Amino acid sequence: MTTREFRAFDLGEALALLSAPAPTLICCHARPDADCIGSAFALSLWLAQMGSPAHVVCADEIPERLRFLVGDLQESILPENIPAEFTDARVVSVDTSAPSQMDRLFPLFGARVSLMIDHHAKGEPYADYLISHTAACAEIVQDLIALSGVDVPQRTAELLYAGISSDTGCFRYSNVTRDTHLHAAALLAADIDAAELNHQLFEVKSFAQMRANHAGFERLSFYHEGRVALITFPLALREEMGLLDEHLGTLIDVARSVAGVLVAASLREIEKGVYRASLRANADLDVAAVAATLGGGGHKRAAGVTVYADSMEEATDKLLAAIGDMGGALS
């Protein structure tokens, strides 16, 4: 049995591949965020400009709070709703660093991915790849479009800007560089309404999200003399409150906003035996390394992992043990 070796592409090689007209499926990671959605749909619009019809697909539907980004571009991104004309389409992926992130899409399309476009520092390549450790995957898509020489329409610029702003916390995170601001500045030239985009991304929350955050605050616990904050959210509580998992996405922001917290975590029960953890660092700490010990990954200061355990207590113990292994970093 041979293991295929995947090749690193530069921007020019990726452009040559994608410039060849062909119907294209664009795969996202499960539970898509604004960078993934913005990158995928901006790539879709650009491919259409280049003569290649494109369709975005994901294991999960677009969260309600991010639906404004897509509007009427595409009604659904679930694999069950892929149009017949994309049955044998070329397949690329965006913002997806490992097979596990594709969830149920990987058995369907993983072997057909001709190019993965990604920006994560830690990952597991599953196809020939274009990887650049930018603040957001949207920057890579923006560079591809710029290299192609076509104009960036306002709609595409909105999607790219939303991806960059989202993955940088509205340009507040440590991943922001001079190049990040230069990418954003170029998109502002397309006369986008950045203030409204940021308002929608960071300030508008549904009533369900507000209820979830309130309930999460009530379940906030501290460890390591207040340097670690953790919110746990059992499935029974979510069902009792009539919430969806997407409403729990900002729990991590509740935990990380407390003064003195260096590492914040949220732990949500998805189904019996399956728990999803999000990790954030408020200091120069590597939470991606913490997630990696449990089979996850991500960025140095923002990472995630699925924890398998028989109870919330066991899942909590596993997560706290992994965080505790950072040792002196938490002192």
Confidence of residue 100 (pLDDT cuts 50, 70, 90): confident
3-state secondary structure of 120: coil
Model pLDDT, residue 1: 32
Q: What is the pLDDT of residues 25-66, one digit of tens each?
A: 999 999 999 999 999 999 999 999 999 999 999 999 999 999
Residue 233 belongs to domain spanning: 207-330
Check whether residue 107 and residue 223 sit in a common domain.
Answer: no
Of 167, 202, 237, the residue at which a domain comes to its end is: 202
Least confident interval from 31-45, 254-268, 290-304: 290-304
Judge whether 3 lies within some domain: no
Task: State the CATH number of the domain containing residue 25.
Answer: 3.90.1640.10
Confidence of residue 277 (pLDDT cuts 50, 70, 90): very high
If one counts the domains in the chain, the total is 2
Model pLDDT, residue 300: 87
Q: Which of 108, 107, 84, 170 is nearest to 135 (CA)?
A: 170
Query: From its phi and psi, is residue 310 left (phi > 0), alpha (psi between -120 and 50) or beta?
Result: alpha
Asked if 52 and 103 touch (Cβ cutoff 8 Å), the reply is no
DSSP notation for 185-231: HHHHTT---HHHHHHHHHT---HHHHHHHHHHHHTEEEETTTTEEEE
Least confident interval from 63-67, 97-101, 159-163, 181-185: 97-101
Of 158, 178, 202, the residue at which a domain comes to its end is: 202
Res 315 pLDDT > 80: yes
Model pLDDT, residue 325: 87
Res 5 pLDDT > 90: no
Check whether residue 135 and residue 249 sit in a common domain.
Answer: no
Q: What is the pLDDT of residues 111-137, one digit of tens each?
A: 999 999 999 877 789 999 999 999 999
All residues at 6 or more sequence positions from 195 whose CB lies less than 8 Å from its CB, including other chains: none
Asked if 30 and 106 touch (Cβ cutoff 8 Å), the reply is no
Query: What b/e readout covers 128-143, taking b as 16+ CB neighbours within 10 angstroms?
Result: bbbbeebbbbbbbbbb
